[in-house]
């Protein structure tokens, strides 16, 4: 009998990726199959291993991609095939997430499963709006109920009469369409019409908007402001604390969603700390070279070089990995000077307990030429530059022109990933991206290819940030304007330039 797999029912939280639990992240990273919902931060999916299968089971605007029975059958089928399955659900799987039904189906078939709780929007959205659900002076109890049920039917599963006065704070989910009937019923059953109410749309996300009203007036206010799902509704005296405790919407970069076209958002943490949402969408996938022959030959003759030049941390990683695979180590570099382009590249070298002899002030080919010229020239020197395939030829050509020798073996390749751009394309068209940041010309070129639309249409109303003049030049060739560019071509400098630009310019349009 084939080994059965295992299913993890994982709550992904309400939207802010920082609210995904550590255990939830671990389950994602080891999954063979991920069955996921609509109301998720798209960035979560970037943590899933590349070979995992994605199965979309979401619902948007009442339209089901898969019925609950179909979802249950999918989980059973994949687990019985011996796979590790992550059922990724927004919020918490057991809070109106139908996770209980899925767990029952698995238990009945003898499939091993675990439940990984998530942060429910019922507590997260109010917290991000500055509203505590309980407070010693205002409320010592709260209830969370769904609001999609027709409350006019005789056999309602919710006792609204008891809820109206029986709890201090009432949190209602999925109630936008029924808000007028719900508030009318609560007033009918004794809840004062002047009771404060907060409606929080897209809680914890860059689009978060909070409407404060009263029980008798909130339905009309929501209609006037055209509030649509998803929204969390909080009813109770604790709403009064929002004026004092609101924190998320006061962050200086709140409302900005910044697109970063690279793996991992290291270097952009400050933007998140200041309230922006950083949306990661890698447009380059790093792979080994098609052949190691050139690099192997260079490593075998490593003692013939005067300088070893690294242009990225990736180059450092792949070069030293191959060095080890050939049975060598850092002792083979004795007498060789090392140049690193950029402080982060230098840091990657120094972590190997190697000294970096030169870090040019300008982090591109022109800066390299200047640095070596000021250090005594290039004539008679021999350089080894392990690099990406299809890299710029400006530096190698100039070295040869000035009398030096240089070998440029391919240490790694940056290829176009099999990216899923459907959701991002929708975000762009709906104006839910305010800034797009590019760290190389290749990330921009690949992004345009993935989106498969004219650049002018893709970036309409979006500020473009480029890490340096070479990247900016590639973007401007498409007739686009680069609004943001740091003086120094590093990720940290780019992050700082984005921060300064936002603070100096208009408010976001999300």
Q: Which residues are catalytic?
A: 37, 59, 174
**Helix H or strand E encompassing 64:** strand 63-64
What span, in angstroms and rounded, lies between the C-alpha atoms of 343 and 349? 10
Q: Which two tokens stand for residue 493?
A: 């400098």
Which residue in this structure is represented by tokens 């063979």? 32
From residue 219, alpha-carbon distances to 16, 183, 215, 304, 335 in Å are 28, 8, 8, 78, 76
DSSP H/E element including 102? helix 99-108
Structure-token pair, residue 59: 């619902």
The Cα-based distances of 396 to 71, 340, 369, 375, 406 in angstroms read 56, 16, 10, 17, 6
Residues 6+ apart with CB under 8 A from 414: 284, 285, 286, 287, 388, 389, 390, 442
* Torsions phi, psi for 65 (to 5 deg): -80, -40
Q: Are 177 and 219 in contact (CB under 8 A)?
A: no
Distance separating alpha carbons of residues 68 and 86, to the nearest angstrom? 16
SS3 assignment for 207-225: CCEEEEEECCCHHHHHHHC
Q: What are phi and psi of 497, to 5 degrees?
A: -65, -40
Cα(83)–Cα(229) distance, rounded to whole angstroms?
35
Burial of 266 (0-12, 13-18, 19+ CB in 10 A): exposed
CB 213 within 8 A of CB 261: no
């Amino acid at each position: 009998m084939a080994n059965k797999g295992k299913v993890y029912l994982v709550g992904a939280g309400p939207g802010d990726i920082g609210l995904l639990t550590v255990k939830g992240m671990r389950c994602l990273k080891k999954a063979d199959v991920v069955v996921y919902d609509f109301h998720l931060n798209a960035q979560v999916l970037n943590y899933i291993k590349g070979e995992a299968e994605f199965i979309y089971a979401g619902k948007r605007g009442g339209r089901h991609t898969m019925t609950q029975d179909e979802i249950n059958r999918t989980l059973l089928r994949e687990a019985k095939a011996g796979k590790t399955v992550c059922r990724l659900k927004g919020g918490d799987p057991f809070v109106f997430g139908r996770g209980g039904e899925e767990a029952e189906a698995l238990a009945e078939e003898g499939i091993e499963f675990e439940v990984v709780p998530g942060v429910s929007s019922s507590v997260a959205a109010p917290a991000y709006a500055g509203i505590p659900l309980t407070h010693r002076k205002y409320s010592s109890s709260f209830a969370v109920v769904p609001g999609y049920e027709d409350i006019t039917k005789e056999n309602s599963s919710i006792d609204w009469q008891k809820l109206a006065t029986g709890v201090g704070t009432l949190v209602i989910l999925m109630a936008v369409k029924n808000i007028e009937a719900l508030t009318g019923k609560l007033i009918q059953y004794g809840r004062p019409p002047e009771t404060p109410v907060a409606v929080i749309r897209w809680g914890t996300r860059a689009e978060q908007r909070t409407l404060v009203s009263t029980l008798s007036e909130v339905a009309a206010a929501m209609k006037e402001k055209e509030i649509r799902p998803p929204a969390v509704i909080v009813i109770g005296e604790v709403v009064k604390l929002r004026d004092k405790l609101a924190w998320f919407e006061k962050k200086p970069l709140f409302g900005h969603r910044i697109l970063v076209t690279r793996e991992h958002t290291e270097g952009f943490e400050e933007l998140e700390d200041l309230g922006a949402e950083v949306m990661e969408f890698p447009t380059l996938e790093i792979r080994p070279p098609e052949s190691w022959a050139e690099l192997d030959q260079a490593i075998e003759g490593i003692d013939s070089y005067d300088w070893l030049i690294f242009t990225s941390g990736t180059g450092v990683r792949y070069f030293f990995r191959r060095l080890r695979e050939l049975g060598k180590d850092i002792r083979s570099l004795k007498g060789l000077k090392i140049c690193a382009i950029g402080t982060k590249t230098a840091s990657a070298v120094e972590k190997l307990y190697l000294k970096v002899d030169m870090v040019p002030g300008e982090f591109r080919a022109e800066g390299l030429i200047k640095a070596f010229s000021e250090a005594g020239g290039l004539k008679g020197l021999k350089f080894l530059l392990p690099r990406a395939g299809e890299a710029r030829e400006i530096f190698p050509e100039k070295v040869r022109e000035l009398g030096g020798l240089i070998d440029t073996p391919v240490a790694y390749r940056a290829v176009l990933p099999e990216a899923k751009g459907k959701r991002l394309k929708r975000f762009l068209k709906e104006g839910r991206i305010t800034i797009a940041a590019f760290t190389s010309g290749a990330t921009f070129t690949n992004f345009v290819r993935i989106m498969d639309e004219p650049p002018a249409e893709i970036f309409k109303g979006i500020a473009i940030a480029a890490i340096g003049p070479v990247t900016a030049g590639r973007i401007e060739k498409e007739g686009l304007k680069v609004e943001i560019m740091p003086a120094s071509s590093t990720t940290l400098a780019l992050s700082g330039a984005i921060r300064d630009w936002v603070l100096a310019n208009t408010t976001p349009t999300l």
